[in-house]
């Protein structure tokens, strides 16, 4: 994994303006601490920061290839999981390869297939290819949106980067936010509209999208979307197919020139990955699989069962570690450090985010990085296989709103009267845009049609928020995290799977449970879903409340928007919040943490409201 950036500006000769390129590169050093490189062609420059995972010598970037009168230059961030197949295909067409890096395969795939190249790739990636002679720039993002690619157009050119901070260092993007951006932050955050970069004039390539910048014009095209098709498999075949696709996805993602490790929560998803890897390691005599789990200091003293978190993880982690004979390590996080890391998590995202769900992952990844560079994690199974409660509660399922943020009342309460008057309408339109663009079949029943809409909402919103969290918080420590459930073949298959098969035996992720029930311990295979662990320690609430009270005494752009009375109500009556701010985990402590992150963002990025 790496960080990439680039800029083309017809009014600038970058040979004489190296400082801006150096500043952009340095801003991405956490994504790529091992190597860096810059390619300059007068008014165009490509920048690369490298985290070495595969083929150190032959994978250096920017990578250049000359063929048939053209010079192609690539900067690439990601991992390709069908590298060997594509290399064989291209070799048969006459291409030669210097090494075994996936970068070289992606570059030569582009040379051979042009704009059809993305459809050939199975992986997580964002890359840019510059054709030197034709002055043509090609940008591309993976189908699922695991890897980021932001950009901004300006008079005379375009700038792009893996992270917004590099765009800001280019001098072509100002740290400004308009009313739309504020609506995103206060009424949708930590999620954001697909393609939005929150900052004014900052956009992001959407999942499954590429763009071509040529002759001063940008052309964007979607090459992958969720497509409704008839499901032709019966229940037995669906079980077999699900098991094959997931097993194959995990095994393909075990390729690395550096050691890998695995996140283990004791839940179904991470356990499938760990068990599949353990079987693979045993078959190939690779030793024990290293696993990691996260917990919070004194958390079990305060744990309370709930609909969303019915059981603690510790006993299930122990069971799974023993079953796979994993080399397991538990990382225990301190609540004060968890609050302190809120600030770093803003710097990692360049935006306010998923508060302690982010900061805990950031601290977790920092510890793992001391021993490993690559990890595998179980994200996204719930979104594509119906793991969340809102898939199963018919009242919520058919409610015309985002199911993880059904009421805007708590969000409205933290704002002064009259601020962002159209916030609710803004959210409503984003919701309608998503459901109205959902692909369906004329033969779909009411339930099937709604399940497709729910899949689409989760895929383009909730899942993207979690993927952004995983990418930024891991890469902030130079740790690459792979997500096998995001294999696009699995996503396509799940999108068209009938609900009665997907929710086999009336259970969330029933098809996945059934597919692996003879592989996993029974207690794991049929354990009720439990989300990413959060702190239950009241110390965390006290820390956040103290910090919010302090920032409310200041007078600045943020506090001019906030209702002090509304926020004090949250501090004084935390248990009276009837519905979370976002998802299952953002209640009173997390709402206060979000305000802390907003304050940090405004100050650290010198944000102006325009």
Which are the catalytic amino acids? 2
Q: Which residues pair with 151 in a beta bridge?
A: 160, 203
112 near 153, Cβ under 8 Å?
no
Greatest extent of the chain over all pairs of C-alpha atoms, in Å: 71
The residues, ordered by sequence, that sit 6+ positions from 383 with a Cβ below 8 Å of its Cβ are 455, 458, 459, 462, 463, 466
Question: Which burial class, exposed, middle or buried, applies to 329 when counting CB atoms under 10 A from its CB (0-12, 13-18, 19+)?
Answer: middle
3-state secondary structure 198-239: CCCCCEECCCCEEEEEECCEEEEEECCCCCCCCCCCCHHHHH
* Cα angle 105-111-114, degrees, rounded to a multiple of 5: 110
SS3 content of the chain, % helix, strand, coil (to 5): 45, 20, 40
Taking the CA of residue 236 as centre, how many other CA atoms within 13 Å lie in the half-sphere pointing to its CB?
0
Alpha-carbon distance of 83 to 122, in angstroms, equals 8
Say which DSSP state 458 is in: I
Residue 234 to residues 240, 386, 497, 525: CA-CA distances in angstroms?
A: 10, 19, 10, 22
490 near 384, Cβ under 8 Å?
yes
Report CA Rg, the chain. Answer: 24
Question: Which burial class, exposed, middle or buried, applies to 603 when counting CB atoms under 10 A from its CB (0-12, 13-18, 19+)?
Answer: middle
286 near 251, Cβ under 8 Å?
no
Residue 115 to residues 49, 88, 120, 219: CA-CA distances in angstroms?
A: 25, 20, 10, 12
* Cα angle 331-336-339, degrees, rounded to a multiple of 5: 95
3-state secondary structure 4-21: EEEEEECCCCHHHCHHHH
- Determine if residue 598 is left, alpha or beta; phi over 0 gives left, psi from -120 to 50 gives alpha, anything else beta: alpha
Alpha-carbon distance of 90 to 136, in angstroms, equals 23
3-state secondary structure 283-300: HCCCCCCEEEEEEECCHH
Q: Give the torsion sign (CA, 449, 450, 453, 454).
A: negative
348 near 362, Cβ under 8 Å?
yes
62 near 46, Cβ under 8 Å?
yes
**How does 528-566 read in b/e, with b if 16+ C-beta sit within 10 Å?**
ebbbbbbbbbebbbebbbebbeebbeeeeebbebbbeeb
Alpha-carbon distance of 94 to 101, in angstroms, equals 18
């Amino acid at each position: 994994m790496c960080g990439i950036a680039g800029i083309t500006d017809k009014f600038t000769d970058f040979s004489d303006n190296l400082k801006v390129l150096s500043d952009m590169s340095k801003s991405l050093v956490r994504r790529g601490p091992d190597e860096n490189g810059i390619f300059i062609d007068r008014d165009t420059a490509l920048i690369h920061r490298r985290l070495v995972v595969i083929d150190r010598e032959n994978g250096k970037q920017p990578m250049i290839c000359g063929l048939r009168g053209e010079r192609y230059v690539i900067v690439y961030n990601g991992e390709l999981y069908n590298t060997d197949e594509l290399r064989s295909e291209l070799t048969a067409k006459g291409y030669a390869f210097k090494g075994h890096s996936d970068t070289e395969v992606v570059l030569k795939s582009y040379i051979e297939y042009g704009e059809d190249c993305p459809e050939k790739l199975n992986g997580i990636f964002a890359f840019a290819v510059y054709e030197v002679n034709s002055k043509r720039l090609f940008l591309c993002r993976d189908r699922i949106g695991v890897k980021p690619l932001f950009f901004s157009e300006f008079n005379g050119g375009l700038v792009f980067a893996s992270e917004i901070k590099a765009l800001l260092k280019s001098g072509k993007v100002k740290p400004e936010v308009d009313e739309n951006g504020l609506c995103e932050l206060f009424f949708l955050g930590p999620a954001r509209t697909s393609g939005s970069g929150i900052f004014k004039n900052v956009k992001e390539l959407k999942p499954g999208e590429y763009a071509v910048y040529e002759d001063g014009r940008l052309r964007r095209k979607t090459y992958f979307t969720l497509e409704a098709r008839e499901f032709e498999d019966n229940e037995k075949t669906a079980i077999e197919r699900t098991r094959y696709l997931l097993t194959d996805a995990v095994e393909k993602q075990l390729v690395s020139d550096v050691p890998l490790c695995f996140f283990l929560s004791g839940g179904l998803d991470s356990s499938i990955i760990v068990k599949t890897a353990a079987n693979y390691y045993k078959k190939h005599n690779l030793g024990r699989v290293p696993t990691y789990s996260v917990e919070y200091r004194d958390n079990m003293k305060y744990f309370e069962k709930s609909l969303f978190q019915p059981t603690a993880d510790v006993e299930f982690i122990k069971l799974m570690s023993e079953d796979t004979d994993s080399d397991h390590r538990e990382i225990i996080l301190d609540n004060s450090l968890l609050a302190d890391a809120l600030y770093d998590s803003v710097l990692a995202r360049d935006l306010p985010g998923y508060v302690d769900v982010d900061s805990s992952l950031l601290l977790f990844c920092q510890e793992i990085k001391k021993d490993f560079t690559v990890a595998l994690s179980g994200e996204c199974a719930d979104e594509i296989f119906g793991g969340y409660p809102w898939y199963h509660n018919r009242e919520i399922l058919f409610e015309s709103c985002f199911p993880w943020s059904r009421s805007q009342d708590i969000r409205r309460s933290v704002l002064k009267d009259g601020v962002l008057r159209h916030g609710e309408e803004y959210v409503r339109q984003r919701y309608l845009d998503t459901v109205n663009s959902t692909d369906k079949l004329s033969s779909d029943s009411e339930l099937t049609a709604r399940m497709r809409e729910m899949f689409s909402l989760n895929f383009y919103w909730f899942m993207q928020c979690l993927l952004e969290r995983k990418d930024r918080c891991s890469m902030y420590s130079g740790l690459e995290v792979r997500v096998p459930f995001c294999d696009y073949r699995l996503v396509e298959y799940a999108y068209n799977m009938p609900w009665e098969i997907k929710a086999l035996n009336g259970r969330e992720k029933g098809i996945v449970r059934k597919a692996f029930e003879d592989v996993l311990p029974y207690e794991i295979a049929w354990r009720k879903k439990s989300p990413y662990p959060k702190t239950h320690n009241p110390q965390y609430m006290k820390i956040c409340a103290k910090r919010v009270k302090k920032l409310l005494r200041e007078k600045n752009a943020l506090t001019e928007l906030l209702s002090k009375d509304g926020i004090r109500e949250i501090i004084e009556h935390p248990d009276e919040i009837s519905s979370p701010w976002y998802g299952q985990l953002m209640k009173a402590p997390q709402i206060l943490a979000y305000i802390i992150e907003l304050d940090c963002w405004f100050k650290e990025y010198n944000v102006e409201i325009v």
